[in-house]
Amino acid sequence: MALKIFLTGDNHIGKKWNSNSYSENLKKELREARINNLMQLINFANDQQCDLFVIAGDLFDQVKVAKREIDAVGKILKEFSGTVLVMPGNHDYYDGQGKLWEDFQKVKGDNTLLLNKWQPYYLDDLDVVVYPAYCHQKHCQHHLLDWIKREEKGVLHIGIGHGALQNLSPDLDNRYFQMTERELEKTGLDLWLLGHTHIPYPGEKEVQNQKIFNAGTPEPDGLDCKHPGYAWLITVEEDKEVSGKLIETGIYKFYDLEKEIQHEFDLEKLVEELLQNNPERKIVRLKLAGRVTRELLDKILVDLKEVEEQLAALEIDNSLKLKITEEDIQKEFSENSFPYKILKTILEEDEDALQLAYELIRGCKYEN
Protein backbone atom coordinates (compact mmCIF):
# COMPACT_ATOMS: atom_id res chain seq x y z
CA MET A 1 0.00 0.00 0.00
CA ALA A 2 1.33 3.46 -0.89
CA LEU A 3 2.56 5.85 1.81
CA LYS A 4 1.41 9.47 1.56
CA ILE A 5 3.53 12.20 3.14
CA PHE A 6 2.74 15.87 3.55
CA LEU A 7 6.00 17.84 3.82
CA THR A 8 6.23 21.35 5.22
CA GLY A 9 8.75 23.39 7.19
CA ASP A 10 9.91 26.93 7.83
CA ASN A 11 6.48 27.85 9.14
CA HIS A 12 8.11 30.39 11.48
CA ILE A 13 5.18 30.65 13.85
CA GLY A 14 5.71 33.56 16.23
CA LYS A 15 7.46 35.68 13.61
CA LYS A 16 7.39 39.38 14.46
CA TRP A 17 6.98 42.10 11.85
CA ASN A 18 8.96 45.29 12.40
CA SER A 19 8.33 47.18 9.15
CA ASN A 20 7.23 50.77 9.70
CA SER A 21 5.25 50.47 6.48
CA TYR A 22 2.79 48.04 8.07
CA SER A 23 0.01 49.00 10.45
CA GLU A 24 -0.11 47.35 13.87
CA ASN A 25 -3.28 45.59 12.81
CA LEU A 26 -1.58 44.15 9.71
CA LYS A 27 1.40 42.97 11.76
CA LYS A 28 -1.00 41.12 14.03
CA GLU A 29 -2.83 39.59 11.07
CA LEU A 30 0.44 38.42 9.48
CA ARG A 31 1.46 36.75 12.71
CA GLU A 32 -1.92 35.04 13.06
CA ALA A 33 -1.84 33.99 9.40
CA ARG A 34 1.07 31.66 10.10
CA ILE A 35 -1.02 29.76 12.65
CA ASN A 36 -4.06 29.76 10.37
CA ASN A 37 -1.86 28.48 7.57
CA LEU A 38 -0.80 25.49 9.68
CA MET A 39 -4.45 24.63 10.26
CA GLN A 40 -5.07 24.75 6.51
CA LEU A 41 -2.12 22.41 5.91
CA ILE A 42 -3.47 19.90 8.42
CA ASN A 43 -6.93 20.04 6.84
CA PHE A 44 -5.48 19.49 3.37
CA ALA A 45 -3.32 16.57 4.54
CA ASN A 46 -6.37 14.97 6.18
CA ASP A 47 -8.41 15.42 3.00
CA GLN A 48 -5.63 13.67 1.08
CA GLN A 49 -5.55 10.87 3.67
CA CYS A 50 -1.85 11.36 4.33
CA ASP A 51 -0.08 8.96 6.67
CA LEU A 52 2.70 11.33 7.75
CA PHE A 53 2.75 15.08 8.34
CA VAL A 54 6.42 16.11 8.40
CA ILE A 55 7.70 19.48 9.64
CA ALA A 56 11.36 19.71 8.58
CA GLY A 57 12.51 22.41 11.00
CA ASP A 58 11.64 25.98 11.98
CA LEU A 59 8.07 25.28 12.95
CA PHE A 60 8.68 28.20 15.31
CA ASP A 61 10.50 31.42 14.43
CA GLN A 62 12.75 31.36 17.49
CA VAL A 63 13.32 29.50 20.75
CA LYS A 64 11.36 32.12 22.68
CA VAL A 65 7.76 32.05 21.51
CA ALA A 66 4.57 33.07 23.30
CA LYS A 67 3.00 30.20 25.22
CA ARG A 68 -0.36 30.83 23.55
CA GLU A 69 1.24 30.16 20.14
CA ILE A 70 2.84 26.93 21.34
CA ASP A 71 -0.54 25.86 22.72
CA ALA A 72 -2.25 26.74 19.44
CA VAL A 73 0.26 24.69 17.44
CA GLY A 74 -0.12 21.68 19.73
CA LYS A 75 -3.89 21.83 19.39
CA ILE A 76 -3.75 22.10 15.60
CA LEU A 77 -1.35 19.17 15.18
CA LYS A 78 -3.67 16.97 17.25
CA GLU A 79 -6.20 17.31 14.42
CA PHE A 80 -4.06 15.30 11.99
CA SER A 81 -5.41 11.80 11.46
CA GLY A 82 -1.98 10.20 11.04
CA THR A 83 1.47 10.67 12.59
CA VAL A 84 3.07 14.12 12.90
CA LEU A 85 6.88 14.35 12.87
CA VAL A 86 8.31 17.63 14.20
CA MET A 87 12.06 18.26 13.91
CA PRO A 88 13.85 21.32 15.37
CA GLY A 89 15.52 23.61 12.81
CA ASN A 90 18.15 26.30 13.24
CA HIS A 91 15.62 28.93 14.38
CA ASP A 92 13.87 26.66 16.89
CA TYR A 93 16.91 24.48 17.67
CA TYR A 94 16.95 21.94 20.47
CA ASP A 95 19.91 22.08 22.88
CA GLY A 96 18.31 20.48 25.91
CA GLN A 97 17.76 23.87 27.50
CA GLY A 98 15.08 26.51 27.19
CA LYS A 99 11.34 26.09 27.51
CA LEU A 100 10.15 25.95 23.90
CA TRP A 101 10.29 22.22 23.38
CA GLU A 102 9.52 21.45 27.01
CA ASP A 103 6.29 23.41 26.68
CA PHE A 104 5.59 21.83 23.29
CA GLN A 105 5.95 18.32 24.72
CA LYS A 106 3.31 19.14 27.32
CA VAL A 107 0.67 20.22 24.80
CA LYS A 108 1.33 17.99 21.80
CA GLY A 109 -0.93 15.06 21.10
CA ASP A 110 -0.10 11.36 21.17
CA ASN A 111 0.02 11.47 17.37
CA THR A 112 2.98 13.89 17.40
CA LEU A 113 6.60 12.80 17.69
CA LEU A 114 9.34 15.33 18.47
CA LEU A 115 12.55 14.28 16.70
CA ASN A 116 15.12 15.71 19.10
CA LYS A 117 17.66 12.89 19.20
CA TRP A 118 20.21 11.80 16.61
CA GLN A 119 18.90 8.27 16.44
CA PRO A 120 16.58 6.20 14.27
CA TYR A 121 12.87 6.44 15.08
CA TYR A 122 10.82 3.38 14.25
CA LEU A 123 7.27 3.87 13.02
CA ASP A 124 6.26 0.25 13.29
CA ASP A 125 2.69 0.70 12.12
CA LEU A 126 4.00 2.10 8.82
CA ASP A 127 7.17 -0.05 8.61
CA VAL A 128 9.15 3.19 8.32
CA VAL A 129 12.43 4.24 9.94
CA VAL A 130 13.11 7.98 10.29
CA TYR A 131 16.58 9.52 10.69
CA PRO A 132 16.47 13.16 11.89
CA ALA A 133 19.44 15.50 11.40
CA TYR A 134 17.92 18.06 13.76
CA CYS A 135 19.64 21.36 14.65
CA HIS A 136 21.21 21.77 18.08
CA GLN A 137 22.14 25.43 17.58
CA LYS A 138 21.40 28.31 15.22
CA HIS A 139 24.65 28.16 13.25
CA CYS A 140 26.96 25.30 12.42
CA GLN A 141 29.78 24.92 9.90
CA HIS A 142 29.09 21.26 9.19
CA HIS A 143 26.10 19.05 8.51
CA LEU A 144 24.77 16.47 10.98
CA LEU A 145 24.58 13.42 8.74
CA ASP A 146 27.61 11.43 9.89
CA TRP A 147 25.77 9.48 12.58
CA ILE A 148 23.31 8.00 10.11
CA LYS A 149 23.64 4.28 9.40
CA ARG A 150 20.82 2.58 7.55
CA GLU A 151 19.06 0.10 9.84
CA GLU A 152 18.25 -3.46 8.81
CA LYS A 153 14.76 -3.13 10.25
CA GLY A 154 12.03 -1.37 8.29
CA VAL A 155 10.95 -1.23 4.69
CA LEU A 156 11.20 2.51 4.01
CA HIS A 157 14.06 4.66 5.33
CA ILE A 158 13.47 8.42 5.44
CA GLY A 159 15.95 11.13 6.39
CA ILE A 160 14.79 14.53 7.63
CA GLY A 161 17.27 17.41 7.58
CA HIS A 162 17.44 21.14 8.05
CA GLY A 163 20.16 23.25 6.48
CA ALA A 164 21.53 24.76 3.30
CA LEU A 165 21.46 22.43 0.32
CA GLN A 166 24.44 23.31 -1.84
CA ASN A 167 23.52 24.99 -5.16
CA LEU A 168 20.02 25.73 -3.86
CA SER A 169 20.52 27.86 -0.76
CA PRO A 170 23.21 30.58 -0.53
CA ASP A 171 25.54 29.86 2.40
CA LEU A 172 28.76 31.66 1.49
CA ASP A 173 30.07 31.66 5.07
CA ASN A 174 29.15 28.01 5.62
CA ARG A 175 27.02 28.73 8.71
CA TYR A 176 23.86 26.75 8.05
CA PHE A 177 24.53 22.99 8.32
CA GLN A 178 25.43 22.88 4.63
CA MET A 179 25.02 19.57 2.81
CA THR A 180 25.23 18.33 -0.76
CA GLU A 181 22.95 16.00 -2.69
CA ARG A 182 25.84 13.56 -2.96
CA GLU A 183 26.25 13.49 0.84
CA LEU A 184 22.54 12.81 1.26
CA GLU A 185 22.63 10.02 -1.32
CA LYS A 186 25.65 8.39 0.36
CA THR A 187 23.57 7.72 3.50
CA GLY A 188 21.75 5.05 1.51
CA LEU A 189 18.31 6.20 2.62
CA ASP A 190 15.31 5.95 0.33
CA LEU A 191 14.07 9.53 0.73
CA TRP A 192 15.26 12.87 2.14
CA LEU A 193 12.88 15.58 3.36
CA LEU A 194 14.55 18.94 3.97
CA GLY A 195 13.82 22.38 5.36
CA HIS A 196 15.69 25.70 5.71
CA THR A 197 15.62 27.16 2.21
CA HIS A 198 12.38 29.08 1.73
CA ILE A 199 11.94 28.03 -1.88
CA PRO A 200 10.75 24.52 -2.77
CA TYR A 201 12.97 21.93 -4.41
CA PRO A 202 12.62 20.56 -7.03
CA GLY A 203 11.18 23.55 -8.83
CA GLU A 204 8.69 21.61 -10.95
CA LYS A 205 5.04 21.34 -9.96
CA GLU A 206 5.03 17.55 -10.29
CA VAL A 207 8.01 15.18 -10.18
CA GLN A 208 8.71 11.47 -10.48
CA ASN A 209 11.55 9.35 -9.09
CA GLN A 210 12.84 12.18 -6.91
CA LYS A 211 14.61 11.30 -3.65
CA ILE A 212 15.32 14.77 -2.23
CA PHE A 213 12.64 17.34 -1.44
CA ASN A 214 12.89 20.75 0.20
CA ALA A 215 9.66 22.09 1.61
CA GLY A 216 9.98 25.85 1.09
CA THR A 217 7.95 28.12 3.33
CA PRO A 218 4.17 27.57 3.25
CA GLU A 219 3.37 31.20 4.13
CA PRO A 220 5.33 33.99 2.38
CA ASP A 221 7.40 35.96 4.85
CA GLY A 222 8.45 39.15 3.07
CA LEU A 223 9.04 41.00 -0.16
CA ASP A 224 11.98 38.76 -1.03
CA CYS A 225 9.62 35.77 -1.15
CA LYS A 226 8.66 35.58 -4.82
CA HIS A 227 6.29 32.62 -4.57
CA PRO A 228 2.80 32.18 -3.06
CA GLY A 229 3.81 29.63 -0.39
CA TYR A 230 4.29 25.92 -1.03
CA ALA A 231 4.41 22.46 0.52
CA TRP A 232 4.87 18.96 -0.93
CA LEU A 233 2.42 16.09 -1.23
CA ILE A 234 4.64 13.03 -1.66
CA THR A 235 3.57 9.49 -2.49
CA VAL A 236 5.84 6.46 -2.05
CA GLU A 237 4.59 3.32 -3.76
CA GLU A 238 5.22 -0.21 -2.50
CA ASP A 239 8.10 -0.56 -4.98
CA LYS A 240 9.54 2.70 -3.54
CA GLU A 241 8.75 4.72 -6.63
CA VAL A 242 8.37 8.32 -5.45
CA SER A 243 6.16 11.05 -6.89
CA GLY A 244 5.66 14.57 -5.60
CA LYS A 245 3.13 17.31 -6.19
CA LEU A 246 3.78 20.92 -5.20
CA ILE A 247 0.82 22.43 -3.34
CA GLU A 248 0.18 26.19 -3.19
CA THR A 249 -0.53 27.08 0.42
CA GLY A 250 -0.08 30.78 1.25
CA ILE A 251 -2.66 33.16 2.69
CA TYR A 252 -0.88 36.50 2.21
CA LYS A 253 1.26 37.23 -0.83
CA PHE A 254 4.05 39.77 -1.26
CA TYR A 255 4.76 41.66 -4.48
CA ASP A 256 7.80 43.81 -5.25
CA LEU A 257 6.87 45.57 -8.49
CA GLU A 258 8.50 48.06 -10.84
CA LYS A 259 6.15 49.65 -13.35
CA GLU A 260 6.66 52.27 -16.03
CA ILE A 261 3.76 54.60 -16.77
CA GLN A 262 3.65 56.79 -19.84
CA HIS A 263 -0.03 56.77 -20.74
CA GLU A 264 -3.38 56.40 -19.02
CA PHE A 265 -3.81 52.80 -20.24
CA ASP A 266 -0.58 51.92 -18.40
CA LEU A 267 -2.27 53.10 -15.22
CA GLU A 268 -5.45 51.17 -16.01
CA LYS A 269 -3.44 47.99 -16.57
CA LEU A 270 -1.58 48.48 -13.29
CA VAL A 271 -4.76 49.04 -11.28
CA GLU A 272 -6.34 45.94 -12.82
CA GLU A 273 -3.28 43.85 -11.90
CA LEU A 274 -3.21 45.11 -8.32
CA LEU A 275 -6.90 44.45 -7.72
CA GLN A 276 -7.14 40.92 -9.12
CA ASN A 277 -6.95 37.71 -7.06
CA ASN A 278 -7.80 38.63 -3.47
CA PRO A 279 -6.32 42.14 -3.19
CA GLU A 280 -7.06 42.21 0.55
CA ARG A 281 -4.30 39.57 0.93
CA LYS A 282 -1.71 41.44 -1.13
CA ILE A 283 1.23 43.34 0.32
CA VAL A 284 2.82 45.45 -2.40
CA ARG A 285 5.91 47.58 -2.77
CA LEU A 286 5.54 49.55 -5.99
CA LYS A 287 8.23 51.56 -7.76
CA LEU A 288 6.87 53.90 -10.41
CA ALA A 289 8.94 55.21 -13.29
CA GLY A 290 8.13 57.09 -16.46
CA ARG A 291 7.23 60.58 -17.59
CA VAL A 292 3.61 61.73 -17.38
CA THR A 293 1.56 64.87 -17.82
CA ARG A 294 0.42 66.83 -14.80
CA GLU A 295 -3.16 65.65 -15.36
CA LEU A 296 -2.12 62.00 -15.50
CA LEU A 297 0.05 62.41 -12.42
CA ASP A 298 -2.94 63.72 -10.48
CA LYS A 299 -5.03 60.77 -11.67
CA ILE A 300 -2.30 58.31 -10.68
CA LEU A 301 -2.23 59.67 -7.14
CA VAL A 302 -6.02 59.52 -6.82
CA ASP A 303 -6.39 56.03 -8.32
CA LEU A 304 -3.57 54.49 -6.28
CA LYS A 305 -5.01 55.98 -3.11
CA GLU A 306 -8.23 54.11 -3.85
CA VAL A 307 -6.26 50.94 -4.63
CA GLU A 308 -4.36 51.24 -1.34
CA GLU A 309 -7.63 51.05 0.57
CA GLN A 310 -8.35 47.65 -1.00
CA LEU A 311 -4.91 46.08 -0.46
CA ALA A 312 -3.45 44.74 2.76
CA ALA A 313 -0.60 47.23 2.30
CA LEU A 314 0.83 49.42 -0.45
CA GLU A 315 4.19 51.18 -0.30
CA ILE A 316 4.97 53.47 -3.25
CA ASP A 317 8.35 54.68 -4.43
CA ASN A 318 7.31 57.44 -6.80
CA SER A 319 10.07 58.16 -9.31
CA LEU A 320 7.74 59.55 -11.96
CA LYS A 321 8.91 62.58 -13.87
CA LEU A 322 6.66 65.36 -15.06
CA LYS A 323 6.15 65.64 -18.79
CA ILE A 324 6.30 69.37 -19.58
CA THR A 325 4.09 70.27 -22.52
CA GLU A 326 3.96 73.37 -24.67
CA GLU A 327 0.64 74.13 -23.00
CA ASP A 328 2.34 74.12 -19.58
CA ILE A 329 4.93 76.60 -20.83
CA GLN A 330 2.27 78.86 -22.33
CA LYS A 331 0.33 78.88 -19.06
CA GLU A 332 3.34 79.98 -17.06
CA PHE A 333 5.18 82.37 -19.38
CA SER A 334 4.21 84.93 -21.99
CA GLU A 335 4.99 83.94 -25.54
CA ASN A 336 7.74 86.46 -26.24
CA SER A 337 9.43 86.20 -22.85
CA PHE A 338 12.98 84.91 -22.48
CA PRO A 339 11.92 81.90 -20.32
CA TYR A 340 9.32 80.95 -22.92
CA LYS A 341 11.87 80.98 -25.75
CA ILE A 342 14.44 79.01 -23.74
CA LEU A 343 11.95 76.36 -22.63
CA LYS A 344 10.40 76.10 -26.09
CA THR A 345 13.84 75.39 -27.53
CA ILE A 346 14.66 72.76 -24.91
CA LEU A 347 11.22 71.17 -25.40
CA GLU A 348 12.31 69.99 -28.81
CA GLU A 349 15.65 68.59 -27.63
CA ASP A 350 15.87 67.12 -24.10
CA GLU A 351 12.97 66.25 -21.78
CA ASP A 352 15.16 65.79 -18.70
CA ALA A 353 16.83 69.15 -19.21
CA LEU A 354 13.42 70.68 -19.90
CA GLN A 355 11.99 69.51 -16.58
CA LEU A 356 14.99 70.81 -14.65
CA ALA A 357 14.95 74.17 -16.44
CA TYR A 358 11.18 74.50 -16.06
CA GLU A 359 11.29 73.92 -12.31
CA LEU A 360 14.24 76.28 -11.82
CA ILE A 361 12.73 79.10 -13.86
CA ARG A 362 9.29 78.58 -12.33
CA GLY A 363 10.84 78.64 -8.85
CA CYS A 364 12.66 81.90 -9.54
CA LYS A 365 9.48 83.41 -10.93
CA TYR A 366 7.48 82.79 -7.77
CA GLU A 367 10.33 83.77 -5.45
CA ASN A 368 10.36 87.17 -7.08
| Domain edges within the chain | 3-248, 253-322, 326-367
- Residue closest to 38 by CA, chosen among 80, 68, 87, 67: 80
Element (H, E) at 347: helix 338-347
Give the model's pLDDT for residue 363.
63
Give the model's pLDDT for residue 100.
98
Report how far apart, in Å, the C-alpha atoms of 189 and of each of 179, 345, 361 are: 15, 76, 75
Give the model's pLDDT for residue 164.
94
pLDDT in tens, 119-148: 999 999 999 999 999 999 999 999 999 999
Instruction: Tell me if residue 31 falls in helix, strand or coil.
Output: helix
- Predicted confidence band of residue 210 (pLDDT cuts 50, 70, 90): very high
- Predicted confidence band of residue 368 (pLDDT cuts 50, 70, 90): low
pLDDT in tens, 44-72: 999 999 999 999 999 999 999 999 999 99
Give the model's pLDDT for residue 26.
97
Taking residues 76-91, what's their average pLDDT? 99
Note the CATH number of domain 253-322: 3.30.110
Rg (CA), the chain: 28
- Torsion-angle region of residue 113: left (phi > 0), alpha (psi -120 to 50) or beta? beta
CATH class of the domain comprising 3-248: alpha beta
Q: Fold match between 3-248 and 253-322? A: no
Q: How far is it, in rounded angstroms, from Cα 272 to Cα 314?
A: 15
Percent above pLDDT 70 for the chain: 94
Give the model's pLDDT for residue 261.
98
pLDDT in tens, 310-340: 999 999 999 998 887 777 777 778 777 877 7
Q: Please provide the average confidence, as pLDDT, over all residues in the chain.
A: 93
Pick 109 or 170 by higher pLDDT. Answer: 109
- pTM (global) more than 0.85: yes
- Residue closest to 73 by CA, chosen among 29, 114, 13: 13
